[in-house]
A = this chain, B = another copy of it.
Amino acid sequence: MTNRGWVTLPRPMPHHGKIPRPTAKRLSLYLRELESRIGQGETTISSKQLGQALGLTDAQVRKDLAFFGQFGHPGIGYPIGELIARLRSILGTDREWHAVVVGAGNIGRALLAYGRFQRKGFRIVAVFDDNPRVIGSDLAGHTVLAMSALPALVRQQDVKIGIVAVPAEAAQAVADQLIAAGVPGILNFAPKRLDVKNAVSVVSVDFSVALEQLAFQVSLGFTGSLDEE
């Protein structure tokens, strides 16, 4: 059974053992909004302001932030800079993560061109494919490598993230190879659930699912946003 509901924080985090899953998902959203505001020169923010920007209640914001320390100031709000530093440290984006892309097709190509990865601390260090016609070709500055080169590269470059950008039929096999090579995190773009036997972390991004959710809402005439929860 997949671990659900709670996420355990490592020891060095002061007296905050567990974070509910929905909270964990909102952390990125808080960070995004805070980064945008500090860029505008703002230095503090209240739970109400932050909630408003994200479509959440102020109480929700406070509860979420309370999970990892209390450094809001009554009557003032939260110091944006500190909050950003803390969120980055919790989310792990204060470190640099080496990633590999498997699959030199459309999605792989788009990911390599997508500058935002670098800015968030993720560095794509290699691209793999198992199609002999693609291996050796150049993709946005990377020579496409054969899958057989994966384990050595993962070891040498300390790769932590494997991005699965292959068709659904090949996705499970690729995931198995990534796991075998020792990659602890998988970002899955294939429209297929990956069975990772609880050995690694997986997050999936599926356009078709997103599109279906949207079609569903539109056909119901439902209005509002289904993305911030």
| Interface of A toward B, CB cutoff 8 Å | 2-4, 7-10, 21, 24-25, 27-29, 31-33, 36, 53-55, 90-93, 95, 97, 106-107, 109-111, 113-114, 116-117, 120-122, 160-161, 168, 184-188, 191-194, 196, 198-229
Determine how many copies of this chain the complex contains.
2
In angstroms, Cα B214 to Cα A227, docked, is: 17
Of B107, B122, B193, which is within 8 A of A54 by CB?
B193
In angstroms, Cα B199 to Cα A2, docked, is: 37
Contacts of A31 in B (CB 8 A): 212
Let me know if A218 and B120 touch, CB within 8 A.
no
Contacts of A120 in B (CB 8 A): 208, 211-212
Minimum CB distance partner of A160 in chain B: B218
CB proximity of A48 to chain B, nearest CB, Å: 14
Contacts of A97 in B (CB 8 A): 215, 218
Contacts of A121 in B (CB 8 A): 215
- The 8 A-B residue pairs with the shortest CB-CB distance, nearest first, are A110-B110, A204-B227, A92-B219, A201-B217, A185-B218, A92-B215, A2-B224, A28-B209
